[in-house]
A and B are shown apart, each in its own frame.
Chain A
């Protein structure tokens, strides 16, 4: 973490001083992740593309006024989310992001399912559950376990309390765990050295 921070801070400072290659590297490094993240909020890919384009143009234009940043990815994710939110409110095609849904404990049918027979089957099962989750809940999981943001960062990105983030994650993982039904067949499989 600390290694990234130093690197991030240096890269960010170079960019603020007008170093275009630092700016291009930032774009290169985070475009895909930002796209995937933005696409969660709007249906039309052109809207995400425009929002990211807008974000980067604004960054360059206001670079001299920007403050120091030690986690560029966090800064970009938070900015993109705010921009999309603001634009969709203004344009009234909001994919209304439901705040209440966040803590809703999703009652995915937790019937006695057989243990998954393979890693792939388990993954498929989890995909189905994740897709059924309220959007905000999935967003929190993704930010934590895919993008590896800290709880405090997620709280700031999603504009909720840290406690809410913690509870949401806890509920989600419990749900995934309950439905994965991991027992012995998998252990046998795990004895095989590679799972890929």
Chain B
């Protein structure tokens, strides 16, 4: 019915405003239509008038075209404001550093490493590049904390382009991202204390008698033995802690590494959870990481055959250490068959929800499923 190529000739002819043969698809490809619909009707009034007065029986096709355009427009995921500028700065930095001779031999390895890290962990979100311009007004917390420390500290600054792994005396390791700083002692005190500026991925050796504490700008992260990541850049308001294994406690501190008066907030994080601390508002917001990973040590099979949805969801919740709630109990006994191995958590949920006609949303650290029934 719809001969796409044949209509192209007509569309490209600006003088021919014959909409007699037009279907919605033709409108969608018509330059005048696109101008009209993109401008919200502010432009292309003539186009609309022409259709309305001369081709009134094409109005419903036009409306369908407009709704198709609007719906496609609505489901586009646009970048946060500032993202474009942030990435451009990175691009400029990278191409500015290039030595002409190196062009061929240095593919962007660093970026590929970032990519890989992003697959396991979350790079700090919401760190606005605009923070650079407000740099002077943000207290330089890290330097002050390090200067006031009571024990002798070694400082490691990663000036390389790629992350460096630092081994600490207790067997813990810290993967320090390019440009980040870490100060640490020999851990002879009652606590294993380190100071971080920038971004580090911590793999902490278990020692219940000596808590491991990271001071990262205006937050303090305490753990017993676990893997987690801290991002806290001097000059930026937002810090972020992501947990891969174990349990950590995060609290706010001032520049003297003291807990804030009246600041009773302590946030506990379990795997696949993260918290963002906004130093400006002095507030924590806790949520799930963008790409939860399966917990270490939990063996799970995701190849479901005639399994109840209830069981499917509880298997997934256990494997990822997340809480899944559903309001509608009608579909919990629906039978579900599909192999869900080798795909991320949210993809699994997409498929399950599609099967039973449900939808899910992430509220804080919980996944809420609504709707759904077996007959779909």
Q: Which A residues contact B (CB, under 8 angstroms)?
A: 1, 24, 27-28, 31-32, 35-36, 39-40, 43-47, 49-54, 56-58, 60-62, 87, 91-96, 109, 119, 122-124, 126-127, 130-132, 138, 141-142, 144-146, 148, 150-151, 166, 169-170, 173, 176-177, 180, 182-183, 186-187, 190, 193-196
Contact = CB atoms under 8 A, between A and B. Distances in A.
A47 B122 contact: no
B290 A123 contact: no
Contacts of A119: 63, 66-67, 70
Contacts of A148: 28-29, 34
Q: SS class of chain A's interface: helix, strand, loop or mixed?
A: helix
Nearest to B85: A31
A63 to B, nearest CB: 10
Contacts of B8: 150
Interface stretch (B144-152, B319-327, B341-349): B341-349
A50 B263 CA distance: 37
Contacts of B72: 130, 141-142, 145-146
Contacts of B76: 36, 142, 146
B108 A151 contact: no
B128 interface: no
Interface residues of B, number: 66
Contacts of A49: 79, 83, 86-87
A56 B86 CA distance: 13
Q: SS class of chain B's interface: helix, strand, loop or mixed?
A: helix
B114 interface: yes
B1 interface: yes
B64 A54 contact: no
B84 interface: yes
Contacts of A196: 40-41
Contacts of A144: 28-29
Contact of B111 (A27, A57, A142, A151): A57
Nearest to A95: B347
A138 B123 CA distance: 29
Given A61-B108, A93-B291, 13 more contacts: A49-B87, A51-B115, A58-B108, A62-B103, A87-B115, A124-B71, A132-B354, A145-B29, A145-B72, A148-B28, A173-B25, A194-B41, A195-B63
A53 B88 CA distance: 8
A52 B87 contact: yes
Nearest to B25: A173
B67 A180 contact: yes
A173 B290 CA distance: 33
Contact of A169 (B4, B78, B122): B4
18 contacts: A31-B84, A43-B290, A45-B80, A50-B115, A52-B87, A56-B87, A91-B116, A94-B343, A95-B344, A122-B67, A123-B71, A130-B72, A146-B73, A169-B4, A173-B2, A186-B59, A187-B60, A190-B63
Contacts of B342: 92, 94, 96
A112 to B, nearest CB: 17
B68 A126 contact: yes
A134 to B, nearest CB: 9
Contacts of A142: 72, 76
B77 A195 contact: no
B298 interface: no
Interface stretch (B90-98, B192-200, B265-273, B310-318): B90-98
A89 to B, nearest CB: 12
B123 A36 contact: no
Contacts of A46: 114, 118, 122-123, 125, 290
B91 A36 contact: no
B178 interface: no
A57 B95 CA distance: 6
A119 B66 CA distance: 8
Contacts of A1: 12
B67 A126 contact: yes
B343 A182 contact: no
Contact of A131 (B75, B88, B108): B75
B4 A32 contact: no
A53 B91 contact: yes
B208 interface: no
B108 A44 contact: no
B209 interface: no
B46 to A, nearest CB: 13
B5 interface: yes
B119 interface: yes
B69 interface: yes
